[in-house]
Structure 1
Amino acid sequence: MNALVWISAVSLAAWLWLLLGQGFFWRTDVRLPPRRDPGPGAWPPVCVVVPARDEAAVLPASLPSLLAQDYPGRAEVFLVDDGSTDGTGRLARELSLGVGGLPLTVSSPGEPPPGWTGKLWAVRHGIELARAREPEYLLLTDADIAHAPDSLRELVAAARTGGFDAVSLMARLRVASLWERLVVPAFVYFFAQLYPFRRIGRRGSRTAAAAGGCVLLRAETAGRARIPEAIRQAVIDDVALARTVKGGGGHIWLGLADRVDSVRPYPRLGDLWRMVARSAYAQLRHSPLVLLGTVAGLALVYLVPPVALIAGAVAGSVGCAVLGGLAWLVMAGTYLPMLRYYRQPPWLAPLLPFTAGLYLLMTVDSAVRHHRGRGAAWKGRTYARPEAVPEEG
């Protein structure tokens, strides 16, 4: 019990540091920064690039929102059909004919060559097509993301006002089923804990991240940073993109979205499990030592508080129970803003240790899949650990 008291004290200290010293990651007020419209005739040309692989189920809810963008300047949409077998490309053309709006080009690059992920190969193809239109900005957005009519206008205005090379919005993910309620808000909470949004937008900060579902990128910056060639093997491509841009001196920004939503459902635990497990070990750089440290850290920070509270209450150790209870209280308190952002009830906050335990198991499973040769599997493709490949000329 004495050992558990000391471990509980360390856990509480960790939570106090997270509360005050980790960029106030738990706050959800990082939204699009102040912006002003360029004025009539001054809106820059933009090309929207949408990589899509077997997205026929979600495309009717997402693509029309892009085509219907109320953008005062010249804009065009390029949907890149990445080897779909469900008629994604054909459906995109039909939706364009029925909805109208922005011009749509549907193209397919064929299978990716060795050393490329399918998504980034599709993005490369889309950017190459877009360059012929000489855009000032590229909007890279996933096929499951629905945009409000003024989304493109707001992104461009924010980028120009703040002088940002990349502006990214963390789309609001769907939360409908029981498992989505338990897992999805925690996913964004954990992401913000790793990459505090306030630090990302600060000049001179080394913290860099983006949300791949919605990234407005200056075309000149993309060319200078060799996007996506420089990150062609990246499974977690959004973070790799942000690091590449920021590492080259670019100014980036990431925040929570108000009117950009993911329409992809994850109704069952298995769906969410696969989403996390496919890239969790890649996030840890495929390192067994980093995996061991991550598991120990998750256990110390998220699992020790409820265990200490319950064990202390049963054993009559007031110190253990108090320390565990305080750590659990701080944990739940920092989770409440994210639950409010997702319009979820506050009673889910004390269940965060359970959700963290699920993420711990998903992370371990991700490592097991990798060592069994399944790597990061997504829509019929499996990506093993990136290896050195020759530089392209």
Structure 2
Amino acid sequence: MGQTAHVSADAWTSAVTVVSALSLAAWLWLLLARGFFWRTDVRLPACGDVDAWPSVCVVVPARDEAAVLPASLPSLLAQDYPGRVEVFLVDDGSTDGTGELAWELARRQEGVPLTVASPGEPPAGWTGKLWAVRHGIGLARARGPEYLLLTDADIAHAPDSLRRLVSAARTGGFDAVSQMARLRVESVWERLVVPAFVYFFAQLYPFRWIGRDRGGRKGPGTAAAAGGCVLLRADAAERARIPDAIRHAVIDDVALARAVKGGGGRVWLGLADRVDSVRPYPRLRDLWRMVSRSAYAQLRHNPLVLAGTVVGLALVYLVPPAAAVVGAATGSAAAAVLGGAAWLVMAGTYVPMLRYYRQPLWLAPLLPFTAFLYLLMTVDSAVQHHRGRGAAWKGRTYARPDVVPDEG
């Protein structure tokens, strides 16, 4: 009996060692071969000279945004831009006086002209945000702009934000330039979850891969954008049929970038220095809802992809600390060293993002705990979708793309 128990313990220790070695190998690959996703130096270049500043129309979809609008809309109306610019705020059926507040804010502040419009309820097959964007782009096209700035109602822009975006698009030859707005990080849960959200996004869509030219190869390659701030050439939007081609997309920013890049356009995405989200997520429940509403859509509503994601998250994020603890407890030096090394590499790749968000570095070793929360949010997202409550946001619930009517 004692010999059998000893063999079982040895087998268990060997299994932990093998799994921890796989986790370390995964982290070395992520560190060196995943587009240096962990670096935070992909930023807009310094604003250069533009011979003739093109006209820009700013489209802001807004639904029940009265709480954040006073901190965001005035920043758009105060843009220091040498060319012609106009803001179109599209009130998507708000019940909190968003449209009236927008007019009042514009009356208080002289600056960029503002138009407030309402498209009515979206038809079947459209998300509310993209239906509002469609209406705003339709109004903007009457002005004949060369560029469209699509920005959310909770995004505050520095006075030179538009100037820098246009300069980057012009000098870099990009059809879409997007910035990942710096999210609010004040509450305990925001400190724990928000930097990791951006870190995981960059791991999925390495910014360096998004901006590179595919050299004439077909297909969009790695394509993504941050929906809070996207400067888009008007002709590229028309060529890619934005937003009609992505009308049912819950993760509309990634879908937009794929459509533009798939149509031969060039896309750039980086971290923002002077573009900030003012929306608070003070409680875990708020952050949970933000992530879970779209996590299963990110996995294409595929149970097999979900299962693979859960296994992958466990191997990459949960195994290292578990192996380090189990190895130390059982006297397995190999498991402890391999798990500890993987945990160290993981924490080291998280440090630049914590610095970007000006957070204490002792949060880096806690990344496995945050990853476990994201794993639970992803599973919950799948459960809610199968219960018919997935992709719920501000009073609307959206069906999967394969069950919505096709308009043509």
TM-score interval w.r.t. the shorter chain? over 0.9
Q: Secondary structure at the match of 1:94?
A: helix
Contact 1:33–1:162 under 8 Å retained in 2: no
Q: Using the TM superposition, give the Cα deviation of residue 375 of structure 1 relative to its aligned residue in structure 2, in angstroms.
A: 1.5
**TM-score for both structures, normalised by structure 1:** 0.98
Match of 1:48 in 2: 58
Q: Secondary structure at the match of 1:63?
A: helix
Q: Using the TM superposition, give the Cα deviation of residue 249 of structure 1 relative to its aligned residue in structure 2, in angstroms.
A: 0.5
Match of 1:10 in 2: 22
Q: What CA deviation, in whole Å up to 9, does each residue of 1:304-334 have, x standing for no partner? A: 0000000000000000000000000000000
Q: Using the TM superposition, give the Cα deviation of residue 218 of structure 1 relative to its aligned residue in structure 2, in angstroms.
A: 0.1
Gaps of 5+ in 1: none
Letter in 1 for 2:399: A
Q: Using the TM superposition, give the Cα deviation of residue 335 of structure 1 relative to its aligned residue in structure 2, in angstroms.
A: 0.1
Match of 2:261 in 1: 246
Q: Using the TM superposition, give the Cα deviation of residue 35 of structure 1 relative to its aligned residue in structure 2, in angstroms.
A: 4.8
Q: Using the TM superposition, give the Cα deviation of residue 280 of structure 1 relative to its aligned residue in structure 2, in angstroms.
A: 0.1
Q: For 1:302-317, what aligned pairs fall within 5 Å after superposition? A: 302-317=317-332
Report which of the two structures shows the higher radius of gyration computed on alpha carbons. Answer: 2
Q: Using the TM superposition, give the Cα deviation of residue 100 of structure 1 relative to its aligned residue in structure 2, in angstroms.
A: 1.7
Give yes or no for the alignment of 1:389 onto 2:405. Answer: yes
Letter in 1 for 2:34: Q
Contact 2:46–2:164 under 8 Å retained in 1: no
Match of 1:102 in 2: 112
Q: Percent identity?
A: 82
Match of 2:93 in 1: 83
Q: For 1:356-375, what aligned pairs fall within 5 Å after superposition? A: 356-375=371-390
Match of 2:166 in 1: 156
Match of 2:287 in 1: 272
Q: 1:252, 1:144 → 2: CA distance?
A: 23
Contact 1:35–1:162 under 8 Å retained in 2: no
Give yes or no for the alignment of 1:130 onto 2:149. Answer: no
Root-mean-square deviation (Å): 0.8
Q: 1:104, 1:300 → 2: CA distance?
A: 51
Q: 1:84, 1:337 → 2: CA distance?
A: 39
Q: Using the TM superposition, give the Cα deviation of residue 390 of structure 1 relative to its aligned residue in structure 2, in angstroms.
A: 3.0
**TM-score for both structures, normalised by structure 2:** 0.95
Q: 1:221, 1:71 → 2: CA distance?
A: 22
Q: Using the TM superposition, give the Cα deviation of residue 34 of structure 1 relative to its aligned residue in structure 2, in angstroms.
A: 5.4
Q: 1:247, 1:391 → 2: CA distance?
A: 21
Q: 2:192, 2:202 → 1: CA distance?
A: 17
Q: 1:226, 1:186 → 2: CA distance?
A: 33
Equivalences, count:
390
- Aligned equivalent of 2:43, options 31, 37, 53: 31
Q: 1:37, 1:381 → 2: CA distance?
A: 44
Give yes or no for the alignment of 1:60 onto 2:76. Answer: no
Q: Using the TM superposition, give the Cα deviation of residue 371 of structure 1 relative to its aligned residue in structure 2, in angstroms.
A: 0.5
Q: Using the TM superposition, give the Cα deviation of residue 389 of structure 1 relative to its aligned residue in structure 2, in angstroms.
A: 3.1
Q: Using the TM superposition, give the Cα deviation of residue 221 of structure 1 relative to its aligned residue in structure 2, in angstroms.
A: 0.4
Q: For 1:171-320, what aligned pairs fall within 5 Å after superposition? A: 171-204=181-214, 206-320=221-335
Letter in 2 for 1:212: G
Q: What CA deviation, in whole Å up to 9, does each residue of 1:255-308 have, x standing for no partner? A: 000000000000000000000000000000000000000000000000000000
Q: Secondary structure at the match of 1:253?
A: strand
- Aligned equivalent of 2:369, options 354, 371, 381: 354
Contact 1:35–1:161 under 8 Å retained in 2: no
Contact 2:293–2:392 under 8 Å retained in 1: yes
Letter in 1 for 2:280: P
Q: Using the TM superposition, give the Cα deviation of residue 346 of structure 1 relative to its aligned residue in structure 2, in angstroms.
A: 0.4
